[in-house]
Structure 1
């Protein structure tokens, strides 16, 4: 942290000083949580085909969590693009596609559960895809967190009005899709702490969960469909997204500044 403080003296590191790192073995020796000092992200939550979402989740995880049903036959997925500018494992970009689920061991009441998660700022999901643009981030994510990461080009482009992430197809090297979001005005600068947890399996097939806590320093949201522009191509990731039959964009979040702490996975206690 002293290195970060020297390199970027303008960063407020007070939040991280409240947290204790502990040594963990996650396929390699590491320290948990992993700190993300300065980052930005855009997220769009879309409705998607519920039957397809259930198909994509392992049966033993489905016994613990369910995709949220927002209305009959429709679930929800969150597409998030991250630019990590300062973090413990250097800087990198990442695209996350995750199914929005209930919490383990709790009944899902569809839209009410989603509303409850929003109000409590405690979200649960199952990660489907998570490409990154550095080898270090890929190895740590796959070995340490058993996440579906692969290495590909992800470039951030900006205009005065929007921020866009261009994602390359790793097989062909061609542009696969572009995920763009408006730079919303009326930003809140009240620090908002949000928890995002995900269910998963470790290398031996045991159920685990991981979680990240974000301190959103600057943020705004919109339910307007024109806040987001998702242009899908013909690559493998685009084809996968098309198979989800995305529908209405329910919520867009523009977070030009946040800090984060990612905790090492822990066993998911079943039957609680």
Structure 2
């Protein structure tokens, strides 16, 4: 055999080895993950939301062109997103307000007068980050947004979806519950290096995403979110529950029929350390302009897991369930249990694509 042929065969072997390494590195992350726990809840399709009785008296205020019901003499009725911290301390004496003392509010006109940031004094949440079909989620992002950010590529053909259930126990708007379904994206105008991009955002404690769905269970939260933050909010019944083992949220359609539930295991949070991170979102306003908003989150008690058994989605044939199924979720990347956190939500600013 000639020396030339031997040399060519060595080159071919080296090339093949490099290809194998590249393919392994590309797909290996998915091999390490647990399957997402998605259950069928056909047995609860006839479950209806039962509204809890309340002694609250409501009044109406005007926001933009809308009449919005709010709790009479509640925190929002009295202070319109700008309550003195002394009032909050009086109402909730056990809350730590030291972080909020360091933040300054600014008067904003966003179709109604508000004060930014909006303070969230006591809250709980569970978050699941899943792998999802890249082609599917890419089509859900407007082209103008994709000029600024890109869905992070976890592995070839695979992107990331974050599903979060929030219980805002006490905030400038009173209290309400919320569901967030978002695509995890790169930072603006950054190269998409997949896991490297994701790790970079985690290290910088500044995550970026495009919000797909954001239903809430009060009209005040809906109107403020749509008019003031350009967010895809609508009104549905939501039930928050906490027992000895789990934190759970049940979501219903607009007629009050069960849609899906998200159930997260209560993890050990004894080793929690207080930390602050930023959640950024880019959306498009009603006039087609790009906007950037963000929420600074102060985690007080938090724990994470990668076990697929720790977080589950119980899906029906309801509208949100069908949407989640369409994302082709496969693997759980991370589950975050956050029984106690605080947040400051800032109104969006316009963003250019230059």
TM-score (norm 1): 0.97
What is the alpha-carbon distance in structure 1 between the residues aligned to residue 259 and residue 87 of structure 2? 37
Query: Could you tell me how far apart the structure 2 residues matched to 1:266 and 1:232 are?
Result: 36
Aligned counterpart in structure 2 of residue 256 of structure 1, from 332, 339, 347:
339
Q: Does 1:34 align with 2:34?
A: no
Question: Paired residue for 1:92?
Answer: 176
CA distance in 2, matches of 1:77, 1:186: 24
After the TM superposition, which parts of structure 1 deviate over 2 Å for at least 4 consecutive aligned residues? 186-189
Q: Spell out the pairing of 1:16-35 with structure 2 (5 A cutoff).
A: 16-35=100-119
1:116 paired with 2:188, answer no
Match of residue 230 from structure 1: 313
Q: Distance in 2 between matches of 1:60 and 1:204?
A: 13
3-state SS of 2:208 partner: strand
Unaligned runs of 5+ in 1: none
Match of 2:213 in 1: 129
- Cα offsets for 1:10-51 (capped at 9, x unmatched): 111110010110001111111000000000100000000101
The secondary structure found in structure 1 opposite 2:123 is strand
Structure with more strand by fraction:
1
Shift in Å, 1:120: 1.6
**Pick aligned residue for 2:267 from 184, 187, 209:** 184
Structure 1 or 2: more helix by fraction = 2
- Match in the other structure for 1:220: 303
Which structure 2 segments of 5+ residues have no match? 1-84
1:198 matched to 2:281? The reply is yes
Give TM-score scaled by structure 2 length: 0.75
Q: Which moved more, 1:59-68 or 1:114-123?
A: 114-123
- What is the 5 A alignment of 1:3-152? 3-152=87-236
Between 184-193 and 144-153, report the one with greater CA deviation: 184-193
Q: How many residues are aligned here? A: 270
1:97-148: per-residue Cα shift (whole Å, max 9, x none)?
0000001111110111111111221100000000000010000001111111
CA distance in structure 2 between the aligned counterparts of 1:102 and 1:188, rounded to whole angstroms: 30
For residue 269 of structure 1, report the CA deviation from its aligned partner.
3.1
- Paired residue secondary structure (1:139): helix
Q: Give the whole-Å Cα distance in 2 for the aligned partners of 1:111 and 1:14.
A: 35
Look up the match of 1:155.
239
The structure with the largest alpha-carbon Rg is 2
Task: Kindly indicate whether the alpha-carbon contact (under 8 Å) linking 2:269 and 2:301 is maintained by their aligned counterparts in 1.
Answer: no
Task: Report the secondary structure of 2:174's partner residue.
Answer: coil
